[in-house]
Structure 1
Amino acid sequence: MNKRTALAPDMVEQAIRSRRAVRAFLSDPVDPALVRLLLELAAQAPSGTNMQPWKARVLGPKSRARLEAGLLAALDDPDFKPAEEYRYYPQTFTEPYQSRRRKVGWDLYGLLGVTRGDHEGMKRQTAYNLRFFGAPVALMVTIDRDLEIGSWLDLGMFIQNLLIAAQAHGLDTCPQAIFARFHPVVRDALAIPASEVVVCGIAIGHADPDAAANRLVPERAPVDTFTTWLD
């Protein structure tokens, strides 16, 4: 039996290793045909019994303007209480997760010049987050509410495929869980039915090389800290 010919591993590895969550984009447009290709590549992700549970909405100028206006209004509304409709984080953080979370958060704010207690600075960054960090392409990802955790795993692989494919094509990305916390606004602006859960947004474009936020490089734990080698 002939072995499958290996793809250029250095190129695949480079796409994986160079991917970062970019938090400031240039306004340079992205060809819609390339966005379609990225979604086609993302959909090659494995899924249990080929269910393919992912759903994506690519926002045009009108829908994006409507969404961002609603989100910024909600951010300024003292009566609006952001809350996810699914739990992303644990109710109580334990180690090492608490330390990792705090470090990356304060590392980012340090680059942005936002200090502890600077609520206005944090709010400005949240508003920028809700505007997809200025990226020219904005996606919203959902999943049918009646699906179980296995389908969510499949959805995660779809999203990762999209991020890596974008990186391979010279684009930068940021998966954004913040939109799940504003799901009533997202649902209303984009006419998302109650049968779907708002999972995240994805910003796609070219990173702004001069933006301080894009100097953030989160630390990764060595393999032996999370792997057990069994006899």
Structure 2
Amino acid sequence: MDVSQAIEGRRSIRAFDADRDVASTLITSILGTASRAPSGSNIQPWHVYVVTGAAKNRITEACTARYLSGDEGKSEYHYYPQAWRQPYIGRRRQTGFGLYGLLGIDKADTAAVQDYRVTNYQFFGAPVGLFFTIDRDMELGSWLDYGMFIQSVMLSARGAGLETCAQAAFCPYYDSVMPLLGAPDEQMLVCGMSLGYPLSEAIINGYRTERIAVEAFTTFVTD
């Protein structure tokens, strides 16, 4: 596929083929391509941990146990605004209602919502989990660089016939995840990601969020 197809066709995949492994050589190739992402002064602030098998299962078990116990955890950084306002809260609600509506889950059904949220920590069935960390002394510019790197991972994966789902859901449990990764204290967790081959027949994989028109977020300044 060309670049436009890779970008426009990308979506968060939430159902993967757990029985179809991803070769480590392919993962290395994807990350190598993504490493061409730009970064200020070429400092390349990313660290990536690839988890599979028993290592992935240990993370699933730790995060699931904490979530089901009612422990909400606490991320080391604020992913979302501390005070929601329009139009952002409206877009978030639209996404949530659309996702749960497609699955036939009433958001008032606490048990059903909980069961579905647990699938986050199961990597949606993906055989590979990626965790991205950054050194604590990096500044906001490096976080911008990191976003470009993560997007490049997603697009590189699509070019290889794979799909992804970036997940901030692991961040509140960073203090469980990071030790299981063997990550040093000077690093902090940016996010996780599920990587694998999608289940084409899964209803949830047909979910697609809307985008606002270019005219709504673009200003041309000519004079």
Task: Name the structure 2 match of 1:3.
Answer: none
Q: For the Cα contact (< 8 Å) 1:19–1:164, is it kept in 2?
A: yes
Task: Name the structure 1 match of 2:78.
Answer: 87
Runs of 5+ unmatched residues, structure 1: 1-9
What secondary structure is seen at the aligned counterpart in 2 of 1:178? Answer: coil
- Deviation string 1:52-94 (CA, Å, 9 cap, x unpaired) is 000100013121121111111111223x232211000001111
The separation in 1 between residues aligned to 2:179 and 2:36, in whole angstroms, is: 30
Task: Name the structure 2 match of 1:138.
Answer: 129
**Equivalent residue for 2:25, pick from 11, 14, 33:** 33
Identity percentage over the alignment?
41
User: In structure 2, what residue type is equivalent to 1:120?
Assistant: A
- Number of residue pairs matched by the alignment: 221
Map 1:1-231; keep pairs closer than 5 Å.
11-27=2-18, 28-78=20-70, 80-231=71-222
TM-score normalized by structure 1? 0.92
User: In structure 2, what residue type is equivalent to 1:137?
Assistant: V
1:102 to partner: Cα distance: 0.3
Q: For the Cα contact (< 8 Å) 1:179–1:199, is it kept in 2?
A: no
User: In structure 2, what residue type is equivalent to 1:145?
Assistant: R
Runs of 5+ unmatched residues, structure 2: none
Runs of 4 or more off by more than 3 Å in structure 1?
Answer: none
The separation in 2 between residues aligned to 1:66 and 1:193, in whole angstroms, is: 18
TM-score normalized by structure 2? 0.95
- Deviation string 1:125-165 (CA, Å, 9 cap, x unpaired) is 11101111001111111101111000001111110000011
Q: For the Cα contact (< 8 Å) 1:133–1:203, is it kept in 2?
A: yes
What secondary structure is seen at the aligned counterpart in 2 of 1:192? Answer: coil
C-alpha root-mean-square deviation of aligned residues, in Å?
A: 1.2
The separation in 2 between residues aligned to 1:215 and 1:60, in whole angstroms, is: 26
Q: For the Cα contact (< 8 Å) 2:52–2:127, is it kept in 1?
A: no
